[in-house]
A and B are shown apart, each in its own frame.
Chain A
Amino acid sequence: MNNKYLKTLTNGLVTENPLFRLVLGTCPSLAVTSAVENGFWMGILVTFVLTCSNVLISMLRKVIPAKIRIPCFIVIIATFVTIVDLVMEAYLPAMHKTLGIFIPLIVVNCIILARAESFASKNNVVLSALDGVGMGLGFMGALMIVATFREILGNGTFFGFHVMGEGFPVAKIMVQAPGAFLTLGLVLGAINLVANHKKAA
C-alpha cells in the first residue's frame, strides 16, 4: 500500500519525467533556462499550481460533468496561476519581471492539463497531490539541469556565483535563443542514449 504512494511520487521524478521523457512543457523550459535561478523559480511555481489544481480537480472529479471537463480544468488552473502571479508580483518583483509572460502562460503548460486529464480526474486526492508534487519537482529538476549547462557555458556562473574563474571564455550563444534549442536537444539525446543502454543491458 505504501509502495503505491511512493511509486506515484517518484514516477514524475524519473520514470515519466515531464520534460525529459514525455517532452511536455517545452516553451517555458526553453525560455527560462538561461539561468539556474530562473529555472528553480519556474519549477516552484509549476509545482505549486500543479499540486493545487490536481488536488482540487481530484476533489471535484465526481461533480464535473465529463462533457465540459476541459473548460472546468482550465478555469481551475487559471485561478491558481492568477494567485501565483499576484503573489510573485508582490514579494519577488524582480523574478516576476524576469519570468514575465511565462507566468500567465503556466495556464497553457501542457503538463498541468495533461496531469489533470490523465491522473487527477481518475485518482483520489492523496495520490493526485503526490503526483502533482512528483511531476512538479521532476520538471523543476529538468529545468535546472538544462539551465546548469546554459548558465555555466554561456555566463561562467552557477546560481549567480562565478564558478569558472576570471578568464573563462563564455559562449554567449548558450544563454541566447539558439543555445536553448541546442542544449535541450543534446540533453534529450544524452538521456535517450542512457535509456537505450539500460534497455539493452
Chain B
Amino acid sequence: MQFVSILIAGILINNFIFVKFLGICPFLGVSQKVETAVGMGVAVTFVMTVASGVTWLVQHYILEQFGIPFMQTVAFILVVAALVQFVEMVIQKVSPTLYQALGVYLPLITTNCAVLGVTVLNIQAEYNFFYAMVNGFASALGFLLAITLMAGVREKLAFSSIPKALQGFPMAFITAGLMAMAFYGFQGLFKDFLIL
C-alpha cells in the first residue's frame, strides 16, 4: 500500500514543480517543444531513480558508518555529478541513438535541484532503500508530467498574441501558476490514509 501511496503522492500530490518548486530552471528552459521536454524528462527520471538509490547507500554505509553526516551536501552533489557523467558515458556506449536524443540535456541535470532535492528528502523521510528509489522514480515522473504538459501549452502559446512585456519568462510563470492551481486540487486526494 505504501508503494502506491508514495507513487501517487510523488506524481500528483507533492508534484516537484507545482508544489515543491524543485527543478524550475530546466522546467522553464527546456519546455519550448514537447519532444525535447520528454527527452529531458526521461533523462531526469533515470538519473533521479538511480541517484536516490546510490545516495541512500552513501548515507547509510559511508556517512553514518564514519559519523560524518554533516558532509551530506558535499557528498551528495559529488555523487550526482559523477553519476550524471557515468550515465552519459554508458548511454553513449550502449545506445548512440538515445545519446543523440538526450546528449545535450545530460550535463544540465547536475544542476537540476530536483535531483539533489529528492536525495536529501529521501534521507529526511527515513525511507528504506526500496522506497527511496520508488520515491525518486515517482517524483521524477511528476517532473516528466509537468514539463510535458507545460511544453504542450507553450507550443500553443507561441501562436497567441501576448503583450510584449509578458512574452517569454513572465508568461511562462503565469501559465505555470494556473497549472499549479489545477494541481492544488490533488491536495485532497488520499488525505485519510496517506502517511507522509
Interface of B is mostly: helix
* CB pair A104 B180 closer than 8 Å: no
* CB pair A82 B70 closer than 8 Å: yes
Interfacial chain A residues near B36, Cβ < 8 Å: none
Of all chain A residues, the one with the shortest Cβ separation from B180 is: A178
- Known A27-B24, A186-B174; judge A78-B18 contact (CB<8 A): no
* CB pair B170 A192 closer than 8 Å: yes
Interface bits A96-109 vs B (CB < 8 Å: 1, else 0): 00000100110111
Interfacial chain B residues near A180, Cβ < 8 Å: 21, 177, 180
Partner of A101, one of B78, B112, B120, B164: B120
Query: In whole angstroms, how far apart are the Cα atoms of A185 and B176 in the complex?
Result: 9
Interfacial chain B residues near A171, Cβ < 8 Å: none
Query: In whole angstroms, how far apart are the Cα atoms of A179 and B176 in the complex?
Result: 10
Of all chain B residues, the one with the shortest Cβ separation from A75 is: B74
- Known A79-B74, A81-B73, A110-B25; judge A105-B173 contact (CB<8 A): no
Q: A-B pairs with CB below 8 Å: how many?
A: 122
In the complex, what's the smallest C-beta–C-beta distance from B127 to chain A, in angstroms?
Answer: 15
Question: Does A182 have its Cβ within 8 Å of any Cβ on chain B?
Answer: yes
In the complex, what's the smallest C-beta–C-beta distance from B28 to chain A, in angstroms?
Answer: 7
Interfacial chain B residues near A178, Cβ < 8 Å: 177-178, 180-181, 184
In the complex, what's the smallest C-beta–C-beta distance from B117 to chain A, in angstroms?
Answer: 6
* Size range of the chain A interface in the assembly: 35 or more
Question: Does A176 have its Cβ within 8 Å of any Cβ on chain B?
Answer: yes
- Known A26-B28, A185-B173; judge A104-B120 contact (CB<8 A): yes
Query: In whole angstroms, how far apart are the Cα atoms of A192 and B167 in the complex?
Result: 9
* CB pair A85 B171 closer than 8 Å: no
Of B21, B71, B174, B180, chain A has the most CB atoms within 10 Å of the CB of B21
Query: In whole angstroms, how far apart are the Cα atoms of A119 and B73 in the complex?
Result: 24
* CB pair A104 B116 closer than 8 Å: yes
Query: In whole angstroms, how far apart are the Cα atoms of A8 and B146 in the complex?
Result: 38
Interfacial chain A residues near B19, Cβ < 8 Å: 177
* CB pair A196 B81 closer than 8 Å: no
* CB pair B174 A185 closer than 8 Å: yes
- Known A105-B116, A189-B166; judge A75-B78 contact (CB<8 A): yes
Name 6 interchain pairs, CB-CB below 8 A, sorted by A. Answer: A74-B81, A75-B78, A176-B184, A177-B180, A178-B181, A192-B164
Q: Which 4 pairs from chain A and chain B are nearest by CB?
A: A185-B173, A181-B177, A189-B170, A182-B177
